[in-house]
A = this chain, B = another copy of it.
Amino acid sequence: MAFKGVDYLDLDSELTSEERMTRDTVRRFVDEQVMEIIEEAYLEGRFPVELIPGLGELGVLGANLPEEYGCAGMNNVAYGLIMQELERGDSGLRSFVSVQGALVMYPIFTFGSEEQKRRWLPAMASGEAIGCFGLTEADFGSNPGGMATRAERDGDGWVLNGSKMWITNGSMAHVAVVWAQTPDGIRGFLVERGTDGFDTVEMHGKHSLRASDTSELVFNDVRLPGDAILPGSDGLKSPLMCLTQARYGIAWGAVGSAMACYEEALRYTTERVQFDRPIAGFQLMQQKLVEILDRVTLGQLLAYRVGRLKDAGKLKHTHVSLAKRHNVMMAREVASTARWALGANGIHSEYQVMRHMCNLETVFTYEGTHDIHTLIIGNDITGLNAFT
């Protein structure tokens, strides 16, 4: 069944034809290739790797990076629409693409040497090479600056020790962008699969984002050549710049998830009959549907606004905090209400709502928890630090 989308305030008319075309192409890909396999992949707890070549062909990996490096060179609204459509399929799918593009390709593009860019970006754009991003540690989630992973000088190279947790794509990545304390502050390194002392362990038993590879990365005396470092990386602000990119995409992705929930709730309740009426005809149900529509629509306006600001070069990281914080909370509440609207059927994998609802718990937490974004914005508007 083709996804129709939700566009109560005709935002479509604000999009360029290229943006619309991009959106429609990804939408079709999700309809045709994702929807039929995603629930099963989710139940099995595996990322659907069979989709990777298609994603590469679509041009969605690092889509807003330049064509010079094999990327699609799209603007940020088109990029956002891609995230929206992918997360309409599944948050795990969008997470894969976010990590690849915003957390691996972006730092290589931004902090990497020309050689690093040439080597990795085209391969990653096509999906031949997969990357992951190692920042979070078991004991340092909201406070990444406290990380324990260290890289020490060792002749011309480095020795890396430590471990990273909650790493999307970790077990399937060919290369990891790893952030470590060094004598010069926090720096980024490219660590390739197969390097001695580098191991990955996939996590099992997740109740959320099950169609995604979440792993631990372990570094035991990993020797890295001198050119493993990202030369332009410089302190904690470098990984934070990556997070801003990823969070931007999440603000759009969450809208997609919410759109999926709205569409399903609307379809279900207009078809489901109780007391001889479609249940969408009861006031308590219309209230749910209207509340969902309201929230989706507002989320769309927000994503669109930050997209245009980003394309205009005016987007601040605090804007992104507002957008990520708002839209994920919005999607979380939308999914919960939509699940409610589906009654008993809403807990079953024949329907999408509860998968989205569960996925969004991860999205709500990663890339800056809701509360951390509250404090980032609070600091911005009051000038007062309330983190600690």
Contact check, B8 vs A319: say whether CB atoms are below 8 A apart. yes
Q: Mark A247-281, 1 if CB is under 8 A from B, else 0.
A: 00000000000000000001001100111111011
Kindly list chain B residues whose C-beta atoms are within 8 Å of the C-beta of A235: none
Tell me whether A153 is interfacial, beta carbon within 8 Å: no
Tell me whether A207 is interfacial, beta carbon within 8 Å: yes
A interface, by DSSP: helix, strand, loop or mixed? helix
Provide the bound-state CA to CA distance between A9 and B361, in Å: 27
Provide the bound-state CA to CA distance between A382 and B167, in Å: 31
Tell me whether A37 is interfacial, beta carbon within 8 Å: no
> Count of chain A residues with Cβ under 8 Å from any Cβ of B?
91
Contact check, A205 vs B143: say whether CB atoms are below 8 A apart. no
Contact check, A358 vs B207: say whether CB atoms are below 8 A apart. yes
Q: Mark A353-388, 1 if CB is under 8 A from B, else 0.
A: 011011001101110011100110111011111111
Tell me whether A180 is interfacial, beta carbon within 8 Å: no
Tell me whether A237 is interfacial, beta carbon within 8 Å: no
* Among A112-120, A225-233, A301-309, the stretch in contact with B: A301-309
Closest CB of chain B to A374's CB: distance in Å?
5
Kindly list chain B residues whose C-beta atoms are within 8 Å of the C-beta of A326: 294, 298
* Among A58-66, A192-200, A341-349, the stretch in contact with B: A341-349
Q: A294-B326, A340-B370, A347-B361 are in contact. Are A387 and B275 (CB under 8 A)?
A: yes
Residue of B nearest to A388 (CB): B275
Q: A143-B275, A283-B282, A384-B278 are in contact. Are A289 and B378 (CB under 8 A)?
A: yes
Residue from the list B269, B284, B301 in contact with A382, Cβ < 8 A: B269
Tell me whether A182 is interfacial, beta carbon within 8 Å: no
Kindly list chain B residues whose C-beta atoms are within 8 Å of the C-beta of A362: 344, 347
Closest CB of chain B to A262's CB: distance in Å?
9
Tell me whether A15 is interfacial, beta carbon within 8 Å: no
Contact check, A322 vs B294: say whether CB atoms are below 8 A apart. yes
Contact check, B270 vs A382: say whether CB atoms are below 8 A apart. yes
Contact check, A278 vs B382: say whether CB atoms are below 8 A apart. yes
Contact check, A382 vs B289: say whether CB atoms are below 8 A apart. yes
Tell me whether A325 is interfacial, beta carbon within 8 Å: yes
Provide the bound-state CA to CA distance between A384 and B284, in Å: 13
Provide the bound-state CA to CA distance between A284 and B375, in Å: 10
Tell me whether A314 is interfacial, beta carbon within 8 Å: yes
Tell me whether A208 is interfacial, beta carbon within 8 Å: yes
Q: Mark A1-12, 1 if CB is under 8 A from B, else 0.
A: 000000011110
Provide the bound-state CA to CA distance between A366 and B345, in Å: 11
Contact check, B205 vs A350: say whether CB atoms are below 8 A apart. yes
Q: A282-B283, A284-B287, A284-B371 are in contact. Are A208 and B347 (CB under 8 A)?
A: yes
Contact check, B346 vs A361: say whether CB atoms are below 8 A apart. yes
Residue of B nearest to A308 (CB): B14
Residue of B nearest to A266 (CB): B381
Kindly list chain B residues whose C-beta atoms are within 8 Å of the C-beta of A350: 205
Q: A266-B382, A284-B371, A378-B289 are in contact. Are A277 and B358 (CB under 8 A)?
A: no
13 A-B residue pairs with CB within 8 Å: A9-B306, A9-B319, A11-B305, A142-B275, A143-B274, A143-B275, A277-B384, A283-B378, A284-B284, A284-B287, A289-B382, A290-B377, A358-B358
